[in-house]
């Protein structure tokens, strides 16, 4: 099936005219790569931000979703088109949960590996690929190779975080964790400024899950104020477990809101109301959906930004430079005044050995901006501050960073490019995206 039209990531920017080639079998997918002479990029559920999933030709596997749970070994073998949501619904009735989940449950397993996603527990459990035992990947000539940390390990490390540029992930074997409940014991803390927020993170480093919302409109002695949400799976909550899954009603945004809806005044009012709605050290039992995937309850929430879409800017700074760097960045954003109410701060643990994986030990901030020409000079300033502080920008959220600014703190970028160059020379086609052309990947 061919679908030729305009496509974009979740943030509606940028837009690419292209064709999605859908395949319902691995054999058909292999024949396509053997025969096709043009570049293509593997795609999943289009939940990434930016241009990493865009090309004039996109390849999507739409075959039967397969999930094989081994309860004894606490592992699952899953096809790459399985969503995190599919995996949870299949395994959680048996007490198993993915070891790492991002802010949405609607991403594919293939996408989770390609972006080497991280969650609210990176400081404890690392990134998604740290729990991948092996995966099968189809390379440019249509053949399938099994990769792990010991077998074809270089291709493994290039694929984890490689944004689909090394091949098409077919299936993977993943470690799971055992949980006693469908509920999360949540504790919220109020931080009146960035210093208080950092102290909360420091005091709660041993907690399994942690995340903070930041009010990016706050200035002066309130700069960096926010709400920290700690979480851990509740123990012995049989009533919730018997109910199995969240019964919370989902609502949606039926149409694109006018561009003027998201402005500095409405955002400032929303942030003030949200901040004041929390009490310090408030304990509650919440459904896992509410803790891990709060925005998934609002279908098409991306329409809040209007037809022009938005840009999510996510970076990480090394631990010893995080406070001063974030203070500079938050001051700049607050003075700009047009920031989104969606700003999330997390503590990350040590980096792994994957070539293009984003996390490093330090703090990462993800913040949304409504797409407008006036935002780009600000983002360029942020790029320079991030690099000055030896930080990184996340490929899965990027749509506009320059090649020079991107590559400065990815230490294995030359090795990745050398592999890609060899792959292109050996095969008639290669895996490319709009992002890879922009960044020279």
DSSP result, 277-341: T--TTEEEEEEHHHHH-GGGGEETGGGGG-TT-EEEEEEEEEHHHHHHHHHHHHHHHHHH--EEE
* 3-class DSSP assignment, residue 371: coil
Contact call for residues 106 and 47 (beta carbons, < 8 A): yes
The 10s digit of each residue's pLDDT in 399-418 is: 999 999 999 999 999 999 98
**Do residues 287 and 240 make contact, with C-beta atoms less than 8 angstroms apart?**
yes
The alpha carbon of residue 295 and the mean position of all alpha carbons in its chain are separated, in whole angstroms, by 13
Residues in the chain: 441
Instruction: Render each residue's pLDDT in the chain as its tens digit; 441 residues.
Output: 445 788 999 999 999 999 999 999 999 999 998 888 789 999 999 999 999 999 999 999 999 999 999 999 999 999 999 999 999 999 999 999 999 999 999 999 999 999 999 999 999 999 999 999 999 999 988 999 999 999 999 999 999 999 999 999 999 999 999 999 999 999 999 999 999 999 999 999 999 999 999 999 999 999 999 999 999 999 875 444 444 555 555 778 898 888 888 888 888 888 899 999 998 899 999 999 999 999 999 999 999 999 999 999 999 999 999 999 999 999 999 998 777 888 999 999 999 999 999 999 999 999 999 999 999 999 999 999 999 999 999 999 999 999 999 999 999 999 999 888 877 667 666 899 999 999 999
Contact yes or no for 230/187 (Cβ under 8 A): yes
Cα 331 to chain centroid distance, Å, stands at 25
Instruction: State what percent of residues in the chain have pLDDT above 70.
Output: 95
Query: How many contiguous H segments (helices) and E segments (strands) does the chain have?
Result: 14, 21
Beta bridge partners of 381: none
């Amino acid at each position: 099936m061919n679908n030729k039209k305009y496509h974009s990531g979740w943030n509606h920017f940028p837009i690419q005219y292209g064709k999605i080639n859908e395949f319902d079998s691995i054999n058909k997918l292999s024949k396509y790569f053997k025969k096709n002479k043009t570049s293509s990029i593997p795609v999943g559920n289009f939940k990434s931000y930016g241009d990493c999933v865009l090309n004039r030709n996109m390849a999507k596997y739409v075959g039967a979703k397969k999930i094989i749970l081994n309860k004894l070994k606490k592992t699952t073998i899953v096809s790459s088109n399985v969503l995190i949501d599919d995996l949870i619904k299949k395994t959680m009735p048996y007490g198993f949960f993915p070891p790492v989940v991002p802010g949405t449950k609607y991403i594919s397993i293939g996408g989770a590996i390609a972006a080497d996603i991280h969650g609210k527990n990176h400081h404890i459990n690392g990134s998604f690929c740290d729990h991948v035992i092996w995966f099968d990947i189809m390379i440019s000539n249509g053949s399938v190779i099994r990769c792990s940390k010991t077998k074809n390990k270089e291709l493994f490390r290039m694929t984890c975080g490689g944004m689909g540029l090394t091949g098409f992930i077919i299936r993977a074997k993943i470690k799971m964790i055992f949980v006693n409940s469908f509920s999360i014991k949540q504790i919220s803390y109020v931080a009146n400024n960035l210093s208080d927020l950092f102290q909360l993170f420091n005091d709660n480093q041993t907690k399994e899950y942690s995340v903070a919302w930041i009010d990016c409109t706050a200035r002066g002695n309130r700069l960096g104020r926010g709400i920290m949400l700690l979480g851990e799976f509740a123990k012995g909550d049989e009533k919730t477990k018997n109910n199995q899954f969240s019964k919370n009603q989902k609502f949606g945004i039926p149409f694109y809101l006018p561009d003027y809806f998201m402005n500095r005044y409405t955002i400032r009012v929303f942030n003030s109301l949200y901040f004041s709605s929390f009490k310090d050290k408030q304990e509650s039992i919440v459904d896992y959906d509410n803790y891990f995937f709060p925005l998934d309850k609002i279908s098409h929430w991306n329409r809040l930004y209007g037809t022009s879409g938005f840009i999510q800017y996510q970076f990480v700074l090394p631990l010893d430079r995080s406070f001063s760097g974030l203070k500079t960045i938050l001051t700049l954003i607050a003075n700009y005044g047009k920031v989104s109410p969606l700003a999330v701060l997390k503590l990350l643990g040590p980096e792994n050995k994957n070539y293009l994986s984003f996390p490093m030990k330090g703090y990462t901030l993800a913040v949304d901006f409504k797409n407008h020409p006036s935002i780009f000079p600000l983002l360029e300033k942020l790029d320079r501050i991030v690099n000055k502080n030896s930080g990184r920008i996340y490929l899965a959220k990027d749509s506009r960073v320059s090649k020079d600014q991107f590559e400065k703190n990815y230490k294995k970028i030359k090795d990745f490019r050398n592999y890609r160059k060899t792959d292109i020379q050996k095969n008639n086609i290669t895996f490319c995206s709009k992002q890879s052309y922009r960044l020279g990947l």
